[in-house]
């Protein structure tokens, strides 16, 4: 099939590349000409394992193309995916849909035959209705179908999630588009993916509801970890005991820093904003948002305690600063709260992340990027394991422990407290009474 992906951000690029790998002809469109030129030359703007190889392979096989010519790309394609950003509105909590509606208007002027217009971006309920209204201003309803087809890609696992999804959700209000999309996704359905057909509005809400529930699980286990610390209980035991209940499941029950990234923070806010619009109070999700916002402050208090509230001139080393492993995404990472606050209090901060230097810290006083783990940890008073990269799961503590005063604060519970005690290492973790 001939597909057009509008927007080469995380969703548009990964989805477009994977669709081309399934044998479709795909044009990925972006208004940023510099970005398009780089992509055409095989340069990938995001860190995602395996993506670079797939891009080169499908460019070579002439199934994947990059362009900044939106009008012609739409005309050449049968199915148009809208994959532009829907960030939180400045000063508010609702989703900013300005890019979505701008793209819908541009599509409306370029429809030359029947097109399926799909929102792949995460959008609030009724967005599809608004897109339909925009398209109807310049076109007959027989010329297009508006569909919601949310993505469920995890950063760092996106290619696997696309090829082996739990489910494919398609929200359409007509049989024709549903039949075409079921055919498009047939290679994944034959591998075991469940195909779920719903109304368009239901598909829009499924994405938000899923992310809000996962964010709730993370926040729930983080709050239980606070209780475990007060009662000398190991949160790992609680997670295992709960997770074995099939009604609950073990995933997203790992205590640690606040949730971050491109989805959970903005999507939890957006769903409560939509509910407020329809005069419904999603009080549970509102509590999740508030608790998550307080999480970094709570962990900072433990950092202060570990240093006896003497922060000035102390060397603090951060291992990992992204919101999770296997991504270079800094959006809403708790390090963006912690590092500036510690810098203000006079700490000397060194950080190492496998994805390199971060512009977010460039202007901060006494904050430096280390080119290696060993350089980062040199003469540290406190080592914070912030992100669960594999690089940090087997550190040589004998070398680190040359500085007997070093304390390790393992925010991801990568190590066992009893082993640290045996090695006479000052060790703190989350929710284990240590």
Q: What is the rounded distance in angstroms from the CA atom of residue 39 to the CA atom of residue 55?
A: 8
Q: Is pLDDT of 403 > 70?
A: no
Q: What is the rounded distance in angstroms from the CA atom of residue 260 to the CA atom of residue 328?
A: 12
Q: What is the rounded distance in angstroms from the CA atom of residue 78 to the CA atom of residue 413?
A: 49
Q: Which residues of 239-274 are buried (b: 16+ CB within 10 A; e: fewer)?
A: beebbeeeeeeeebbbbbbbbbbbbbbbbbbbbbbb
- For 8-25, what is the mean pLDDT? 97
- For 74-80, what is the mean pLDDT? 97
- For 403-428, what is the mean pLDDT? 91
Q: What is the pLDDT of residue 396?
A: 86
Which one-letter DSSP state was computed for residue 380?
-
β-pairing verdict for 64-67 and 194-198: unpaired
Q: Is pLDDT of 401 > 70?
A: no
- For 143-160, what is the mean pLDDT? 96
Q: In a 10 Å sphere around its CB, with 0-12 CB exposed, 13-18 middle and 19+ buried, how is residue 209 labelled?
A: middle
**33, 27 Cβ separation under 8 angstroms:** no
Q: What is the rounded distance in angstroms from the CA atom of residue 22 to the CA atom of residue 64?
A: 11
Task: Summarize pLDDT for 169-183 with one digit per residue, the tens.
Answer: 999 999 999 999 999
Residues assigned a catalytic role? 263
Q: Which residues of 278-303 are buried (b: 16+ CB within 10 A; e: fewer)?
A: eeeebeebbebbebbeebbeebbeeb
Instruction: Name the CA radius of gyration of the chain, rounded.
Output: 24
Task: Summarize pLDDT for 184-221 with one digit per residue, the tens.
Answer: 999 999 999 999 999 999 999 999 999 999 999 999 99
Q: Which DSSP string do the residues of 328-358 spell out, in sequence order?
A: ---TT-THHHHHHHHHHTT-EEEEE-TT---
Report the range of poorest mean pLDDT among 38-47, 125-134, 277-286, 296-305.
38-47
Residues 6+ apart with CB under 8 A from 406: 380, 381, 382, 383, 400, 425, 426
Q: What is the rounded distance in angstroms from the CA atom of residue 379 to the CA atom of residue 364?
A: 21
Task: Summarize pLDDT for 343-380 with one digit per residue, the tens.
Answer: 999 999 999 999 999 999 999 999 999 999 999 999 99
Confidence of residue 405 (pLDDT cuts 50, 70, 90): confident
Confidence of residue 50 (pLDDT cuts 50, 70, 90): very high
Q: Is pLDDT of 400 > 90?
A: no
Q: What is the rounded distance in angstroms from the CA atom of residue 414 to the CA atom of residue 388?
A: 7
Phi-psi sector, 249: left (phi>0), alpha (psi -120 to 50), beta = left
Residues 6+ apart with CB under 8 A from 407: 306, 307, 381, 382, 383, 426, 427, 428
Q: Which pTM does this prediction carry?
A: 0.93
Show the tokens assigned to 92: 């508010």
- For 234-263, what is the mean pLDDT? 96
Task: Summarize pLDDT for 274-301 with one digit per residue, the tens.
Answer: 999 999 999 999 999 999 999 999 999 9
Q: What is the rounded distance in angstroms from the CA atom of residue 330 to the CA atom of residue 324?
A: 9
- For 104-115, what is the mean pLDDT? 96
Q: What is the pLDDT of residue 434?
A: 62
Average pLDDT, the chain: 95
Q: Is pLDDT of 397 > 90?
A: no
């Amino acid at each position: 099939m001939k597909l057009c992906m509008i927007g080469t951000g995380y969703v548009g690029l990964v989805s477009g590349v994977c669709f081309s790998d399934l044998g479709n002809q795909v044009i990925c469109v972006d208004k940023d000409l510099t970005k398009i030129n780089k992509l055409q030359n095989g340069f990938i703007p995001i860190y995602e394992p395996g993506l670079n190889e797939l891009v080169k392979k499908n460019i070579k096989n002439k199934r994947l193309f990059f362009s900044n010519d939106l009008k012609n790309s739409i005309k050449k394609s049968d199915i148009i995916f809208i994959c532009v950003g829907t960030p939180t509105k400045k000063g508010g909590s609702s989703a900013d849909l300005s890019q979505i509606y701008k793209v819908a208007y541009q599509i409306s002027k370029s429809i030359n035959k029947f097109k399926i217009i799909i929102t792949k971006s995460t959008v609030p309920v009724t967005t599809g209705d608004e897109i339909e209204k925009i398209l109807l201003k310049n076109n007959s309803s027989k010329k297009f179908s508006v569909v919601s087809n949310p993505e469920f890609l995890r950063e760092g696992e996106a290619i696997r999630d696309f090829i082996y999804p739990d489910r494919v959700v398609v929200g359409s209000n007509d049989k024709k588009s549903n039949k075409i999309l079921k055919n498009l996704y047939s290679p994944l359905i034959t591998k075991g993916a469940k195909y779920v057909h719903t109304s368009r509005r239901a598909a829009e809400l499924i994405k938000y509801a899923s992310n809000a529930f996962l964010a709730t699980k993370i926040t729930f286990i983080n709050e239980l970890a606070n209780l475990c610390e007060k009662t000398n209980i190991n949160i790992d035991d609680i997670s295992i005991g709960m997770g074995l209940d099939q009604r609950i499941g073990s995933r997203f029950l790992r205590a640690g820093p606040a949730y971050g990234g491109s989805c959970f923070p903005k999507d939890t806010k957006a769903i409560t904003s939509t509910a407020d619009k329809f005069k419904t109070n999603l009080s549970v999700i509102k509590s999740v948002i508030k608790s998550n916002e307080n999480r970094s402050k709570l962990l900072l208090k433990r950092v202060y305690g570990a240093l006896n509230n003497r922060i000035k001139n102390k060397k603090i080393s951060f291992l990992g600063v992204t919101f999770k492993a296997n991504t270079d995404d800094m959006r809403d990472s708790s390090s963006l709260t912690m590092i500036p606050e510690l810098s203000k209090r006079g700490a000397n901060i060194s950080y190492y992340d496998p994805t390199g230097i971060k512009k977010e810290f460039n202007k901060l006083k006494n904050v430096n990027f280390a080119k290696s783990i060993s350089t980062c940890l040199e003469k540290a008073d406190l080592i914070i394991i912030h992100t669960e990269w594999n690089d940090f799961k087997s550190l040589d503590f004998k070398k680190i422990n040359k500085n007997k005063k070093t304390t390790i604060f393992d925010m991801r519970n990568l190590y066992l407290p009893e082993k640290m005690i045996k090695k006479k290492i000052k060790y703190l973790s989350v929710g284990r009474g240590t």
